[in-house]
Amino acid sequence: MRPVYVLGVGAHAWGKFPDKPQLQLAIEALGGALKDAGLEWTDLRGLVAASSRFEGGMGWGLHANEVLQAVAEQGIPAINVGGGCAAGGIAVHTAAMMIASGQSDVVAAVGAERMPKGFIPRPPGSPDDISDGDFLRWVTMGATNPAYWALETRRRMYEVGTTHETLAQVSVLMHRNAVANPLARYRSECSAADVLRSPMVSDPLHLLEICAVSDGAAAVVLGSEAQARRLGNPLVQVAGSAIATGVFGDPSSRIPTVSAYCDNAAAHTSEVGGAVAGALKAAGMGTEDVDLLEMADNSVWQVLAWPELFGFCERGQSDWMLAHGDLGIGGRLPINPSGGFLSFGEATTAQGVLQVCELAWQLRGQAQGRQVPDAKVGLSAILGLGANGASILLKA
């Protein structure tokens, strides 16, 4: 397997753009990434697109084909990958493997999404399939995603003593990070009091403690070492990448009685933990080597729980790290210097690609106003429906 490098990155701002088709979002993001790399559309030798169930793709999730037919139809491979909210990370991993295997020298990954209003108001899945568990949990239980995040948060409060104030301070940090990010949808600072005064969505989570849904797009162009050196851009290597699915016995989404009595009970959120472990192993690194973490913060709970689950710190220690500034941009483990989902709102298939863009900007020293000092290694982590996880590790 040969080394893989980031040639260029680009993104469309996050927000709501009812008059701009998803295809246009994708083309603008990918065009920006090609310009950043110093390449033309005709230089692409493959395109991987994160597919969506919400819209686009000729009704079949054929986003890569749509883009190529619109701008650069020249017979190159078009690959469309799913994975729910992890699809963007899976797309970047797939593109990296095409380079690493020697199939192609220049491959792009793109994710573009226009989300429905509200907290994904219509149930996913198929109403015609009585065995579709995700449709049933929405309709029969009314358990939308904020309800799950709230259950996890309440459990953490009980087990490790996390307070409402600590939860609010996570939101304060994420919104502070986004102030200098021109791509973020929400760029205003807030206080803990503002967070706790915002409407309660699913107890104990307030409106400012969960992510909105947004429209957005991001793209990454990857290439061989020869291509990277020829173009002369700052060298940023995809040192490791991995995708994973959940492990039997994972208590986060499996039947509780099975999880409790399983002889080989898996770690919580095993799909993401497995992907993170895989990316670190592929890079030959450990958590101590990581300078910043861009991770899915669908709610404030993830910001506290995931670093512990990934092995960056002990159970319950994230609260202390937050209070002492360790999770901030100048801290020991900066989390989401971009502002994260809480500041962008989630554009499902695009989010995992945007994480990699942010890591590249950070490692190039181009994250103006939110730059992590001396960042050399950055890691992403994202979760998707169906127990999908993806993680990309970049190093300068």
Q: Which domain holds residue 102?
A: 4-118+216-231
pLDDT under 50 in the chain at which residues? Answer: 256-257, 259
Q: Identify any residues that bridge with 251 across adjacent strands, giving them in sequence order.
A: none
Are residues 191 and 277 both part of a single domain? yes
Are residues 96 and 185 both part of a single domain? no
Are residues 75 and 152 both part of a single domain? no
pLDDT at 51: 86
Domain count for the chain: 2
Nearest to 328 by CA among 212, 197, 187, 178: 178
Are residues 89 and 196 both part of a single domain? no
pLDDT at 24: 96
Residue 123 lies in a domain: no
Are residues 41 and 163 both part of a single domain? no
Are residues 222 and 207 both part of a single domain? no
Are residues 58 and 190 both part of a single domain? no
Residue 362 lies in a domain: yes
3-state class of 317 per DSSP?
helix
Half-sphere exposure of 148 (CA within 13 A, CB side): 16
Are residues 113 and 202 both part of a single domain? no
3-state class of 103 per DSSP?
coil
Residue 190 lies in a domain: yes
Residue 99 lies in a domain: yes
Contact between residue 4 and residue 99 where contact means Cβ atoms under 8 Å apart: yes
| pLDDT tens figures, 140-164 | 666 778 888 999 999 999 999 999 9
333 vs 266: CA distance, rounded Å? 25
pLDDT at 257: 47
pLDDT at 19: 94
pTM equals 0.94
Q: Which of 173, 196, 231 is the last residue of a domain?
A: 231
Q: Residue 36: which CATH number?
A: 3.40.47.10
pLDDT at 127: 65
Q: Measured in whole angstroms, how far is the alpha carbon of residue 174 from the centre of its chain?
A: 15
Are residues 244 and 326 both part of a single domain? yes
Nearest to 109 by CA among 195, 264, 217, 230: 217
Dihedral angle computed from the Cα positions of residues 93, 99, 101 and 103, in that order, rounded to the nearest 10 degrees:
120
pLDDT at 273: 95
Nearest to 77 by CA among 107, 56, 57: 107
Are residues 270 and 222 both part of a single domain? no
